[in-house]
Amino acid sequence: MITVFAPDGAGEVVVGTDLADLVLRTVAADPHGPLVDGDVVVVTSKVLSKAAGLARPGADREAAVDEQTVRTVARRGPTRIVRTRHGLTLAAAGVDASNVAAGTVLVLPADPDADAADLLAALAARTGLALAVVVSDTAGRAWREGQTDQAIGAAGLRVLERYAGRQDGYGNDLKVTAMAVADEVAGAADLVKGKLAGRPVAVVRGLGHLVQPVGGPDGTARALVRDPGQDMFSRGAREAVLLAALTATGQPERYEEVVALDEPERTAAVLAGTGPDGEPLGPQAVALVRALLAADLR
C-alpha cells in the first residue's frame, strides 16, 4: 500500500534554514511520522531556493528569466516557454512570484540533483534510514490544461521503472515503456501539499523497492530529460517555422533576437536581414519567408 502525507508546521523558510531539521521535525510531529525505511521525502524547489538565498527583486524578473534560459521554445507576447540550464522546458524558466515576499521572485536551484543528494545525506546521517529525496516543481504540459508537479531533482530513487524486455499479461513484448516514477511521486505529493497550505514537504511511503543507494541506475532527475536529438517537440509550431525561415536565408543565429518580436515586426526583421553572402535577400527568399511566416499554425 502507498501512503502519502504532508505534515503541517514547517513555518517560513529563510536563508540558512536547516532543511533536514525541518523535514525531521515536521514529519515526527505528524500522526504518520516519524520517517521509516523506504520513505521518499518530497520537497518543493521553492524551499531550497529560499534557504539558498535565490530571491531576486521582482523588477528584475525578465533578467532572471534571461539568465536561466538556454533557448526559447515558444513565445506568445510576453509569455515565454524556454529550455533552462537544467534541461527543463518551463514557462518563464521556473522564475516564480508565488509564495514569496511581495516584490520578489525566486529562481530555481542551480543543481537540484546535487541539492537532493545533500539533503538525503543529512537525513540519512541523522536517522540511519534508507531514504530517497525528490525535489519537485510545477510545470504545464503540452496538449493538456492545468499544471502538475514534476521531479527536477532526485537522490536515492530509481526515477525510471523500465519495462523494456518484459512481457505483459498477454505475452506481448514491451519495447519502450518506462514509468516516470519520480514525476509520479512528485504529482502524488502535490495532491497533499497543496499550493496554499504552507506544507512544502511530503512523504510517499510504500515505494521502498525503488529506493537505492546514491549513484544507482536512473538515479537522478537529469535522467528524465529527453536527449535533444530525440525531442520531437523542441520548439513550438510557429517557432520551428521561424527557425526554418532564418536557416533558409542564412540567419539562424538571429533566432533569439527575432523570436522575441510579434508580427508583423517578426517578418520585417527576417526580411531586413542579409543572406549568407551578406547581400539583401532576393525576391525568391523574400517570397519564401512571407509564405512560411504567414502559415496558419494554430
Q: For residue 257, is it within any domain?
A: yes
Which grid coordinates are listed for 13?
Answer: 523558510
- 135's CB contacts (< 8 A; 6+ apart) are 42, 43, 44, 45, 48, 109, 112, 113, 115, 116, 151, 152, 153, 154, 221
| Whether residues 8 and 118 fall in one domain | yes
| Whether residues 136 and 221 fall in one domain | yes
Check pLDDT > 60 for residue 298: no
**Does the global pTM surpass 0.85?**
yes
Q: For residue 83, is it within any domain?
A: no
| Whether residues 114 and 8 fall in one domain | yes
Of 183, 211, 230, which residue constitutes the final position of a domain? Answer: 230
Pairing mode of beta strands 89-91, 79-84: antiparallel
Q: For residue 175, is it within any domain?
A: yes
Order of strands across the sheet with 89-91? 69-76, 79-84, 89-91
| Whether residues 149 and 209 fall in one domain | yes
Express each pLDDT in 43-73 by its tens digit.
999 999 999 999 999 888 999 999 999 999 9
Q: For residue 24, is it within any domain?
A: yes
Tell me how many degrees the CA angle 103-109-115 measures, rounded to the nearest 5: 140
Number of domains in the chain: 2
- Decide if 158 contacts 218 (C-beta within 8 A): yes
| Whether residues 241 and 212 fall in one domain | no
Integer Cα distance of 44 and 51 in angstroms = 12
- Which residue shows C-alpha cell 497543496? 194
b/e string for 222-239 if b means 16 or more Cβ within 10 A?
bbbeeeeeeeeebbbebb
Q: For residue 87, is it within any domain?
A: no
Express each pLDDT in 184-229 by its tens digit.
999 999 999 977 678 999 999 999 999 999 999 999 999 999 888 8
By residue range, what is the domain housing residue 158? 3-54+109-230
Express each pLDDT in 64-119 by its tens digit.
999 999 999 999 888 899 999 999 999 999 998 888 888 899 999 999 999 999 99
| Whether residues 224 and 244 fall in one domain | no
- Average pLDDT for the chain: 91
- Decide if 84 contacts 70 (C-beta within 8 A): yes
